[in-house]
Amino acid sequence: MRLFVTGAAGMLGRRLVVLARDQGHAVTGSDIDDLDLTDESAVRERLRREAPEAVINCAAFTDVDGAQTNEQLATKINGDAAGNVASAAAELGAFVVQLSTDYVFAGDATQPYTETDEPDPRTAYGRSKLAGEQAVAASGAEHAVARTAWLYGAGGKNFVDTMLALAQERDEVSVVTDQVGSPTWTGRLAPALIEVAERRATGVHHLTGEGQCSWYELAVEVFHQADVSCRVLPTTTDAFPRPAPRPPYSVLGTERADAVLLPPWQEGVAAHLSERVLA
């Protein structure tokens, strides 16, 4: 498969490029330094030149708090640029996998959100990512929307590595118990995205580590698996006020008969820690 990956310098995009090449696909990666996705004509010209069979769009404005104060820029990158990529892909008959997020939901559910649940974003970031989903759908491209959450992995700032770094400096850390989600390791998400592209499995996919936990429980598990003696103190979201509200409950579930299932989130933590040791 000829594959084009945007956001290839990011935590997920970098892994996607390496893995897809290892699987024998012909992969081209791009990032802001060589292609501005908000430039519609440039995107169209580049995709015509590369002639991919599939495009995985990992490029995004991911600063949740930054989006809250600059929603116009976030929407330009997460919404308009996603539409540019999908429209250019549609002209070539290329399949598009658009990355999205749990933030498209309100975050006040009591059971996992499935693919047919109605989005209701409560933050600028969530609205910008939903705009991207809608722009891709309107482009006419054959496409999939892949929603994920609580992402971590090598090559990017993430909660797991931040906790491990803090444990080197402190005897204890305070972590919130009132935000619940599904931690997702890039090493498991990347192959799932490639599979969606290979199968040209259209529609919405929820792709997260199986199960759920709070940030507090995730920190406890990370320290346990890493054999780190740092105490985790429970606290609440109110203790850490942020410009953008965090969803209390953003667990993603699936009702697809052909769902691509990821292993339990604890297995992702173990694999990530093993990779850190080998690095």
Asked if 13 contacts 6 with a C-beta cutoff of 8 angstroms, the reply is yes
pLDDT value, residue 278: 81
- Number of other CB atoms surrounding residue 69 within 10 Å: 12
Q: What is the pLDDT of residues 181-237, one digit of tens each?
A: 999 999 999 999 999 999 999 999 999 999 999 999 999 999 999 999 999 999 999
Catalytic residues: 125
**Mean pLDDT over each residue of the chain, to the nearest integer:** 97
Mean pLDDT over 134-144 rounds to 98
What's the total number of domains in the chain? 1
169 within a domain of the structure (yes/no): no
Written as one letter, the residue type at 211 is G
Interacting residues of 37 by C-beta distance below 8 A, sequence separation 6+: 6, 43, 59, 77, 81, 82, 84, 85
Give residue 15's domain range: 2-158+183-211+251-263
- Measured CA to CA, the distance from residue 251 to residue 212 in angstroms comes to 7
244 within a domain of the structure (yes/no): no
Interacting residues of 9 by C-beta distance below 8 A, sequence separation 6+: 29, 31, 32, 33
pLDDT value, residue 196: 98
- At residue 279, does pLDDT exceed 80? no
pLDDT value, residue 229: 94
52 within a domain of the structure (yes/no): yes
Residue that the structure tokens 């996919």 belong to: 205
Q: What is the CATH number of the domain that holds 8?
A: 3.40.50.720
- At residue 86, does pLDDT exceed 80? yes
- At residue 158, does pLDDT exceed 90? yes
Interacting residues of 1 by C-beta distance below 8 A, sequence separation 6+: 20, 25, 26, 53, 54, 197, 198
Q: What pLDDT band is residue 108 in, cutting at 50, 70 and 90?
A: very high
Residue 118: Cβ-neighbour burial (10 angstroms; 0-12, 13-18, 19+):
exposed
DSSP lists the bridge partners of residue 214 as: 180
Asked if 104 contacts 71 with a C-beta cutoff of 8 angstroms, the reply is no
Mean pLDDT over 99-120 rounds to 97
- At residue 277, does pLDDT exceed 90? no
70 within a domain of the structure (yes/no): yes
- At residue 255, does pLDDT exceed 90? yes
Question: Of 208, 190, 244, which is closest to residue 63 (Cα–Cα)?
Answer: 244
171 within a domain of the structure (yes/no): no
pLDDT value, residue 143: 98
63 within a domain of the structure (yes/no): yes
50 within a domain of the structure (yes/no): yes
- Report the length, in residues, of the chain: 279
Question: Of 205, 207, 201, which is closest to residue 189 (Cα–Cα)?
Answer: 207
225 within a domain of the structure (yes/no): no
